[in-house]
Structure 1
Amino acid sequence: MTTYISILRGINLSGHHTIKMGIIKKLFAE
């Protein structure tokens, strides 16, 4: 159960990082 939660946390963190990178790329594109 703990492993499952940590995996979900890892996915959440990487997803948040991807969103931040997408926003930064959009700012540089304009």
Structure 2
Amino acid sequence: MSLQACADIVAKGDPDRFAAAMAAPVAARRVL
């Protein structure tokens, strides 16, 4: 499974959390 496929699953499953993680600084994404 590709990284993009995993991101698509998360985006579809919890779009609000996905959007928040993508809006966060790259360094902070690891803990989200």
Report the TM-score when normalising by structure 1.
Answer: 0.37
| The structure with more helix, counted as a fraction of residues | 1
Report the TM-score when normalising by structure 2.
Answer: 0.36
Does 1 or 2 have the higher relative contact order (CA < 8 Å, sep 6+)?
A: 2
Higher Cα radius of gyration = 1
